[in-house]
Chain A
């Protein structure tokens, strides 16, 4: 089987998986609840029947050819849309018209369509997740290598403790501890106030000691402040948004960092135990060469497969981190959506994250096949 055949096969599988995911989410959210129950917070007595019906349709609830809202809620015959038909009309609506309905999230989503809300917030989450991934890799790979080569000595023990603490630590707790330390306890004077060293909320640092008081404006290119400010050439803005990224990123990647370090360490150790390392040493080449050329090349292969899982974990952790740090991303919005039953947003969010996870898994597998000469399709 050639590589591109494999990729195509995986893509088809991916579409199938996404389809099933959407079905599951749809049935879960619309099935068990009585029809129109999602609308409860928005139905006021002032609305007459027709208006309620229109509101229901605007919010994306399938009402078929119901004559009136009361007929709809009491599920009169002729007014019930079988759920599978609901699904197909929904599918049609979202795929071909891109209409995901109106957002029902109070506060952040009022008046916005679900799609707009999602796309506005997505770059922030992407910025956070990618920063988390980068930090994870930059720290974990060298740390893992050092742990493996200095097995059972100080660096190994230290990295082991960090790794263990990392994946035993509740993310939300770490976030608050960091906030307590860097915002409440470590303060610097700024004007007449004591201000925390680092900011605890928002993407643009405010109220922090090392931030600029007036970073100015930037153009919107990607939606992610760190990148946009770089493109706009606005250094104070870049600095502020970078500083705002520090605490959330550490919080997010602390646990994945630990996990990746362990994987790199154990696969390096496994690699170093192999017979070919003995042969390499016997050839008299430098130890550095033995470690980085012979051992690492083999060790990175299993570590790469873990990257897919790590990315999924980062996407999951983003929900908590955004909540704690008031980060305007889709994770925080999804949380609100779950609390306030905004089905449309939940569906969109689930599908997009599932898509990201499946694609990144595929990318990881392709990368692995690319790098390992033994796998040739």
Chain B
């Protein structure tokens, strides 16, 4: 980012000359060195990034791995069966798949290859999650900036509105919206978005407020730089780090909420390849086909874990107050 005014001056004099790890200011090279040092100390972050990247790649290329309409076709003769020799479930009543093709994760109640369904579900879940998070951030920037700059009544009003939304226990508002407006994917997205946006408004507002008061912003104002210029070229790049962290964490979080809603029965189509939906269609068969619950759920866990680790890692790397 050009002309970003560094906010941390290098010689941060903590009381006395006690040696502490300081974040290097100035220079991408020093930052990278520090980032690698932290990554070495913290291998989980690398794991997280790997998971996140792999899942995104699989999602993007799912069209090549699996034909995209295959979820609409049922094969009732091979429903709820398992023939992967690696795992033995030790349950009675396991139906062994007829035929020779190995189903690595078994089949579901429509006879579809579960692994394929999961691969198809990835792009759906990830796209929706990204869409929700980015929209929430956009609303957050818009309202947060308005609140921070307008101050006074407008600020107060926006804050009260976020308070009201926080008073709704998470899923309830989404449930009500879905009950009233129907169960399409669009409504699902809006329902989750409605629950999610207040967090970003508050976060961004407080970030902008604290940046606004910093000496560099005052200096810019005193030389006559316009408000928008200050906001977009200076404040937002400096303020964006916690927001980035939150966004990464939220991609995992939104997938959880979204799949939970689908699980609870608000999916538009029973056969839709979506991770929560896949689990919900498996709960009737806990005793005879536990893989239906285990594997899609495990996928959600792994993806959310990946993004959470990544978000944590970014937070550690970008935290200007980090010591050791």
- Chain A residues within 8 Å of B, Cβ to Cβ: 13, 17-18, 20-21, 24-25, 28-29, 32-33, 152, 160-161, 164-165, 167-173, 176-177, 179-180, 184-185, 273, 275, 312-313, 315-316, 319-320, 323, 334-335, 337-339, 341, 346, 349-350, 353-354, 357-358
Q: Is A32 a contact of B264 with CB atoms below 8 Å?
A: no
Q: Closest 7 A-B residue pairs measured CB to CB?
A: A173-B297, A316-B170, A168-B304, A168-B305, A338-B175, A338-B179, A353-B169
Rounded to whole Å, the gap between the CB of B269 and the closest CB of chain A is: 16
Q: With a CB–CB cut-off of 8 A, which chain B residues contact A172?
A: 260, 263, 276, 279, 297
A120 to B265, alpha carbons, bound, how many Å?
Answer: 25
Interface residues of B (CB under 8 A from A): 15, 41, 44, 90-91, 160, 163-164, 166-173, 175-181, 252-253, 256, 259-260, 263-265, 276, 279, 283, 286-287, 290, 293-294, 297-298, 300-301, 304-305, 308-309, 312, 323
Question: What are 5 A-B contacts with C-beta separation under 8 Å?
Answer: A168-B305, A179-B286, A316-B170, A338-B175, A350-B176
Main secondary structure of the interface of B (DSSP, over half): helix
| A170 and B260 form a contact (CB under 8 A) | yes
Rounded to whole angstroms, the CA-CA distance of A170 and B293 in the bound complex is: 11
Q: Which residues of B have CB within 8 Å of A25? A: 176
CA–CA, A335 and B180, complex, Å:
13
Inter-chain CA distance A193–B265, complex, in Å, is 33
Whether B283 lies near A349 (C-beta < 8 A) is no
Residues of B within 8 A of A313 (CB): 170
Q: How far is the CA of A338 from the CA of B90 in the complex (A)?
A: 38
Closest A residue by C-beta to B90: A185
CA distance A25 to B181 in the complex (A): 13
**Given contacts A17-B167, A353-B169, are A176 and B175 in contact (CB under 8 A)?**
no
Cross-interface CB contact of A21 among B164, B286, B300, cutoff 8 Å = B164
Q: Is the pair B175, A177 in contact by a Cβ cutoff of 8 Å?
A: no
Smallest beta-carbon distance A23→chain B, Å: 10
Residue of A165, A315, A320 near B169 (CB, 8 A) is: A315
With A173-B300, A312-B169: A32-B294 Cβ-Cβ less than 8 Å: no
- Given A17-B167, A21-B167, A173-B293, decide whether A33 and B180 contact each other with a Cβ distance below 8 A: yes
Select from chain A the residue with minimum beta-carbon distance to B163: A17
| A21 adjacent to B168 (CB under 8 Å) | yes
Distance between B316 CB and nearest chain A CB, rounded to angstroms: 11
Q: Which of B90, B160, B168 contacts A354 (CB 8 A)?
A: B168
Query: Shortest beta-carbon distance, A289 to chain B, in Å?
Result: 22
| Contact yes or no, B305 A164, CB < 8 A | yes
Looking at the assembled complex, report how far the CB atom of A64 sits from the nearest CB atom of chain B, in whole angstroms. 22
Which B residues are in CB contact (< 8 Å) with A20?
A: 164
**Nearest residue, chain B, Cβ from A29:** B180
